[in-house]
Amino acid sequence: MEQSKLMTYGGWALKIVAGLAFLAAGLAKLAGVDMMVATFDQIGVGQWFRYFTGLIEVISAVLLFIPGRTIYGAGLLICTMIGAIITHLFLIGGSAVPALVLLVICILIAWLHKDQLPA
């Protein structure tokens, strides 16, 4: 019974951390915060990609809290963080550690909600 409580509360803690982090990051991208604009200039794909990424992050953060849809939000965020890690390593430099930490959190969330995948 204790393990079940740990999984429940731990899962909620992970979703809250990820949800807040991705909501903040996504809204910063959508709002055009100078640092985000500069980062996406460095990537070189265009500012449309900043809007796209911000939208994915905001939508995914919300999906984390919709029953039956958590796995989809976590899956989108896993893909986003893999892209962020690759971008840091090969295009813009800087530390990929924050993206790696968020990737691990999203993987854990997905694992905890794997029962939501269609059979």
- The tens digit of pLDDT for each residue in 11-26 reads 999 999 999 999 999 9
> Is pLDDT at 115 greater than 80 in this prediction?
yes
> Is pLDDT at 1 greater than 70 in this prediction?
no
- Are 43 and 91 in contact, with CB atoms under 8 Å apart? yes
Q: How many domains does the chain have?
A: 1
- Are 70 and 116 in contact, with CB atoms under 8 Å apart? yes
Tens digits of residue pLDDT in 55-82: 999 999 999 999 999 999 999 999 999 9
Residues whose CB is less than 8 angstroms from the CB of residue 107 and which lie 6 or more positions away in sequence, other chains included:
74, 78
Structural domain that includes position 38: 2-116
Q: What is the pLDDT of residue 4?
A: 85
Q: Which helix (H) or strand (E) holds 87?
A: helix 70-87
Q: What is the pLDDT of residue 30?
A: 98
